[in-house]
A and B are shown apart, each in its own frame.
Chain A
């Protein structure tokens, strides 16, 4: 089954998500160590549906290379093969703190502009 082409709204949502997905992942890991599928589930439960679940893996790999997260293998609570869990490092905690501050500094003004401005009727008032 093929999916419909993304609309402009979907594209914007996807671009916005791409900009903050690393922060969302860091925040989820800060809560407790998690493995790949758990991230997709947690994001979906939080109302953020990814275009493809697998898009988290390049990001996780990049963050691991940057030393923001580390990984270990442990048995899954649901059974089956051991999973690769990710946990936050000291540098990751610091990056998450900075990222949260950046996001609040950015989202606050954007929210104010989008909610306080009133659309014009389009008529010439001169």
Chain B
């Protein structure tokens, strides 16, 4: 495993374990400097992280931030993503409510799980490739679910629910954007 692959795997692991963006950058900077120093001293990436990059990343994430805080962040950001989807659906269809079908649920659930599992195991692939792989798995799942369960709406979600879903994750999303801007500056 190259140093770049180690850093990519750690980044994905920490992001999906609910570590905030500023902390992820700080940890990556620290690890990257250590890997470069170790390489200059004739040591390998494996000497630094051990045999399993995921075990190493998970141990550091657990030590960095307690589980309840990380779970809260992930739940709020998950709701934020759902809120964005709902808002986008209502805006594109120019309607005040959105009908959720079994196919919709299967599509987004499989897309989310496939993306998270892949990135946790292999590291980030970048937005386009990640969506490509996710779609390859999620589209057949959605089509199959539609054939099996039909296309009737399971529930109808009003537009105002988007605000409820967006609100809890908003502070986290704003903090992450600020951290990205600060890092870029």
Contacts and interface: CB of A to CB of B under 8 A. Distances in A.
B47 A83 contact: no
25 contacts: A35-B33, A36-B34, A37-B33, A40-B38, A52-B46, A52-B47, A52-B56, A53-B34, A53-B38, A53-B48, A54-B48, A54-B50, A54-B56, A55-B59, A57-B30, A57-B31, A57-B63, A58-B63, A61-B63, A65-B64, A81-B29, A81-B33, A83-B33, A84-B30, A84-B33
B49 to A, nearest CB: 5
Interface of A: 3, 35-37, 40-41, 51-55, 57-59, 61-62, 65, 76, 80-81, 83-84
Given A37-B34, A40-B34, A52-B50, 7 more contacts: A36-B30, A37-B37, A51-B50, A54-B60, A55-B56, A80-B36, A81-B32
A37 B38 contact: yes
Interface string B9-53: 000000000000000001101111110111001010011111100
A49 B46 CA distance: 14
The 4 residue pairs across chains A and B that have the minimum distance between CB atoms: A52-B50, A58-B63, A37-B37, A61-B63
